[in-house]
Amino acid sequence: MCGICGIYAFDGSKTDNGLLALMMASIEHRGPDGDGRYIANGIALGHRRLSIIDAEGGSQPISNEDSGIQVVFNGEIYNYIELRQELAARGHIFKTLSDTEVIVHGYEEWGLDCVSKFNGIFSIALWDSGLKRLFLARDHLGVKPLYYSQHSNKLFFASEIKALLQDPACPRHVDITSLEALFTLRYVPSPKTLFSGIFKLPAGHMMVVDPRGIDIRRYWQWKPQVRAVRSEPELIEQYQCLLEDTVKLQMRSDVPVGLFLSSGIDSGVLLALMSKLTTQPIQTFTIGFEDGEKTNETADAREIAGRFGADHTEMVITAGDYEKYYERYMWDLEEPVGNESAAAFYFVSLLAGRKVKVVLTGQGADEPWAGYDRYLGVKFSGLYSRLPSFITGMVLKKIILSLPRSEKLKRGAIALAERDVFTRFIKIYSFYSAEMRAALFKPWVKDEIKKTGSIHSGGEALYSLQSDVALLDPLTQMLYIDTRANLPDDLLMVGDKTSMANSLEARVPFLDHYLVEFIETLPPGLKLHGLQGKYLHKKALEKWLPKDMIYRKKKGFANPVNKWLRGKMQGYVNEALFSNNSAVSKYFNRDYIARLVRLHESNKEEYMRHIYLLLSFELWHEKFIRG
């Protein structure tokens, strides 16, 4: 796992070596074990290394025999051993034992199609001096990030935005349409970021850059194709085999591999499978929270660790730890998200990074397997929306008036009556409703949004994904969108940035793209069966875990941030949002924000996520725009 950066000059002129050095220095945390660079007319490639495979011979850049091809990459090619054997049989000569060299010879053998051969998590930069061509690619599910910006007749790219900002000419402005997307979807979907002029290569895409310009292509063309129904036992056995093979593949490492362990079944089954693959105790890591006694996972995780003989480490996080971390929170994340659990990933990574360089995580099982409550709403909203409007209107009004202080339940109730599938999705995602955004944004912001002609409230990228599966049922549509948008642009981005801030590689077995393709061939009833989410997944896990663990109520990555916002962190939040020079005052209606905060602090309404997103934006703006 590493960090990459580079500069491509369209006119073939010399690149700024001093700037490349600054870019590399800004991402040193991603690779503290070494660095390397390649510089020639028209191109500069930089690399920071975290040594995991072939510590002695795997330094980058790595080239082919005549040095005409140079590669830097961030991530892992898990199937590098099999690909190496195939390429060696075709006559390719290898000089290292690293997975990076498979990319070099794979490109020689298969050209741009080589990326479809790779099973892994990666962002790749390959320079072909013969064609004067730069080839960039990002893994199928977008586990590893890749950002770029084009200006001054050059293309700049890097694993993190802060590397691009080392160039004084790189713009530092808020993209207003992305601001609307952020306060609609809780994150900014690819290819945009909240920075005007800075973009991210979407998951499953490649970019070809040459003197003629930039060509971005989608190489992972897979779309769900529901198979003919087979027997459940047969499907369960097939899934079990795939999962075992995936964990075995992702355990490949020349250094010990640990595990983020929660009380849930996904990390639990990873521990069960990992324990079968090594004679050494697996090192597991869990965090709990001060004031989180009712939701902490530490006791359950400790029990699971003991069951499989793990070497377990845990830590309790306080409100003071959070407040102190917020000084650098957005420097790590670079993209604000409405995800109150984001900072927690930093602390579990901090804990793990003290002992190991690599961990597996249970992230990514909920989206393809329908593990969240919102999927129940999608399943039943189709039936509800077909009722006469006068009935749904009365029912909806009564439900909303009678609901407890639950932002999530109210959002679901509002979305129920929406007949258009995509608009229903947007309403499910949006804790800032259209009406709330109208009250939140200042007039000049609303005017700027209108100028763009936005018709989907910041969701154009999601609308494009939905069009891929528009003929399938609404549940399958939402699972497809979440797996390709919510995961890479929110949860996986958070996971990558917070782990790499601690020089730690986080691998996600449940997002092996072959595993995802298998899941997406299953009928929706095998994912959400009645009220049971992750139905077939849970059935399969009965092979390794006790039933009482599999079917107990899910805690999720719970933390007491809401309690802290109303108590120990109340002063911190008020100072951040309402100081005389706060950024939110420039873009948002300060009186409206004050009203939200008052209602939340008085326990009359539930606006924790609304406030948290505003706080994240304020911290981001202070760090990157004003700072």
Q: Identify whether 332 is part of a domain.
A: no
Do 133 and 255 lie in one domain? The reply is no
Last residue of a domain, one of 188, 218, 248: 218
Contact 429, 377 (CB under 8 A): no
pTM above 0.85, yes or no: yes
Do 162 and 274 lie in one domain? The reply is no
Q: Identify whether 72 is part of a domain.
A: yes
Instruction: Give the pLDDT of residue 617.
Output: 96
Instruction: Give the pLDDT of residue 246.
Output: 98
Contact 462, 184 (CB under 8 A): no
- The CA-based diameter of the chain, rounded to the nearest angstrom, is 74
User: Consecutive 10-residue runs of the chain (627 residues): their mean pLDDT?
Assistant: 93 94 97 94 96 80 94 97 97 94 97 98 98 98 98 96 96 94 94 96 98 97 84 96 98 95 95 96 95 82 96 94 92 94 94 97 96 84 69 64 62 72 85 92 93 68 90 93 96 97 97 97 94 96 96 72 82 88 93 93 87 94 89
Do 315 and 207 lie in one domain? The reply is no
Q: Identify whether 245 is part of a domain.
A: yes
Contact 521, 480 (CB under 8 A): no
List the structure tokens of 425.
């999705």
Q: Identify whether 186 is part of a domain.
A: yes
Do 207 and 234 lie in one domain? The reply is no
Instruction: Give the pLDDT of residue 515.
Output: 98
d(C-alpha 185, C-alpha 354), whole Å: 34
d(C-alpha 414, C-alpha 401), whole Å: 11
| Enclosing H/E stretch for 46 | strand 43-49
* CATH code, domain carrying 44: 3.60.20.10
Give the residue from 96, 108, 100 showing the smallest Cα distance to 74. Answer: 100
Contact 289, 560 (CB under 8 A): yes
Do 48 and 128 lie in one domain? The reply is yes
Do 204 and 234 lie in one domain? The reply is no
Last residue of a domain, one of 202, 218, 234: 218
Nearest-5° angle of CA 388, CA 392, CA 398? Answer: 155
Do 129 and 262 lie in one domain? The reply is no
Range of the domain at 426: 222-289+298-321+345-434+457-555
Do 193 and 142 lie in one domain? The reply is yes
Do 85 and 62 lie in one domain? The reply is yes
Which distant-in-sequence residues (6+ apart) come within 8 Å of 212 by Cβ?
none
d(C-alpha 607, C-alpha 609), whole Å: 6
Q: Identify whether 10 is part of a domain.
A: yes
Instruction: Give the pLDDT of residue 311.
Output: 98
Contact 26, 166 (CB under 8 A): yes
Q: Identify whether 264 is part of a domain.
A: yes
d(C-alpha 200, C-alpha 142), whole Å: 10
C-alpha atoms less than 13 angstroms from C-alpha of 56 in its C-beta half-sphere: 3
* CATH code, domain carrying 424: 3.40.50
Among positive and negative, which fits the CA dihedral 315, 319, 325, 326? positive
Q: Identify whether 8 is part of a domain.
A: yes
Q: Identify whether 451 is part of a domain.
A: no
Do 403 and 430 lie in one domain? The reply is yes
DSSP designation for 113? G
Do 24 and 140 lie in one domain? The reply is yes
Do 162 and 233 lie in one domain? The reply is no
List the structure tokens of 527.
């994912």
Domain count, the chain: 2
Last residue of a domain, one of 555, 575, 602: 555
